[in-house]
Amino acid sequence: MRGGLKAEAFTKSLYDHLIQHCSFIAHYDRGGFYDTYFSSGDDTVHFLSQFDSNNPNAVDGVPLCIEYGMSYWAKGDYEDINREMIRIATPYIPMLRAEAEAKQRDADLTVAQRLLRKHGKGLEF
Q: Is 24 left (phi over 0), alpha (psi -120 to 50) or beta?
A: beta
Residue 31: pLDDT band (50, 70, 90) is: very high
- Residue 59: pLDDT over 90: no
111: in domain: yes
Domain count, the chain: 1
Task: Read off φ and ψ for residue 26, nearest 5 degrees.
Answer: -70, -25
Q: Where are the alpha helices (DSSP H) in the chain?
A: 12-21, 30-38, 41-49, 79-89, 93-118
2: in domain: no
Residue 15: pLDDT band (50, 70, 90) is: very high
Q: Please check whether residue 66 is in contact with residue 74, taking contact to mean a CB–CB distance below 8 angstroms.
A: no
Query: In this predicted structure, what is the pLDDT of residue 5?
Result: 92
125: in domain: no
**What residue numbers bound the domain in which 62 lies?**
7-118
Provide the whole-model pTM: 0.90
- Residue 125: pLDDT over 60: no
Q: Which of 59-63, 91-95, 107-111 is predicted least confidently?
A: 59-63
DSSP-assigned letter for residue 56: T
